[in-house]
Amino acid sequence: MALGPAAWAINLQTIYAMTPHACARPTSATIILSITLAIIAASGTAMSLRAIRREPTSEWAEAQGGRARNFMAWLGVGTGVIFALVILNQLAATLMISPCLR
Summarised one tens digit per residue, pLDDT across range 8-32 is 999 999 988 888 888 788 778 888 9
pLDDT in tens, 39-68: 999 999 999 888 888 776 655 555 665 567
Q: What is the pTM of this model?
A: 0.80
Quote helix, strand, coil % in the chain, to nearest 5: 75, 0, 25
Do 93 and 29 meet the contact criterion of CB atoms below 8 Å apart? no
CA distance 21 to 57: 50
Alpha carbon 77 to chain centroid, angstroms:
11
